[in-house]
A = this chain, B = another copy of it.
Amino acid sequence: MNKPLKIRKNAELRKPEILRSFYQTIIDEGLEGASIGKVARRMNIHPSLIMHYFSTKENMMTELVDYIINEYGDLLKNVSVHHDEPHERIHQLLDVLWSDEWYRKTDVSADFSMLSVSFRHEKVNRRFRHLYAQFGKFLAKELRRFMDAGIISAGDPDITAEVLVSLIEGYRHFKHFYVDSDSSERFRQEMKRAVLNMLGYRPKQAGAG
């Protein structure tokens, strides 16, 4: 009889695997309910294996934040806004930023826990600041493009970008309180409308000017 051999993985595979399980445990039971033991049980490995890779739980948490933030960063790099025509582009951009894919890339519940940690944990705080700075830079670049094309009339694009980030995060903040999909979709539409208003967007004229 062939005993089911355990497959040995290297750190490069195992560490992210553990982090993903840790993340899933936080989603299911909250940060306060995510112990090393539970993560190990979920993976059918020994708790000490987790300690082997991360030394301390705090380490594991910091690395988890890195992991999540990288995921989010990837999202930023791969934003697919193709249109060059500014009117098309701004609508496509907003559609992406308020898309389900964007919303679901990370788990909002777990993100809240991590944001809470960022108040007490300098390393985590720094990582979030970096992420949001990246995000702001990306948006500011887009805003400048729209301003150059003369289709919006916002003020300083860098600050406006930050306000925009607030709106996007505020949306993530609230979305889950809208239970039925109708009101959820209406909320989404209204958010887009609000952003366009906020930016002083001038729609394309249908016929003459």
CB proximity to B under 8 Å, residues A97-149: 108-110, 112-113, 115-117, 119-120, 125, 128-129, 132
Dominant SS at the A interface?
helix
CB proximity to B under 8 Å, residues A156-207: 156, 159-160, 162-163, 165-171, 173-174, 176-177, 186-187, 190-191, 193-195, 197-200
Band of interface residues on A = 35 or more
Across the interface, do A110 and B116 meet the contact criterion of CB distance under 8 Å?
A: yes
Interface residues of A, Cβ cutoff 8 Å to B: 28-32, 108-110, 112-113, 115-117, 119-120, 125, 128-129, 132, 155-156, 159-160, 162-163, 165-171, 173-174, 176-177, 186-187, 190-191, 193-195, 197-200
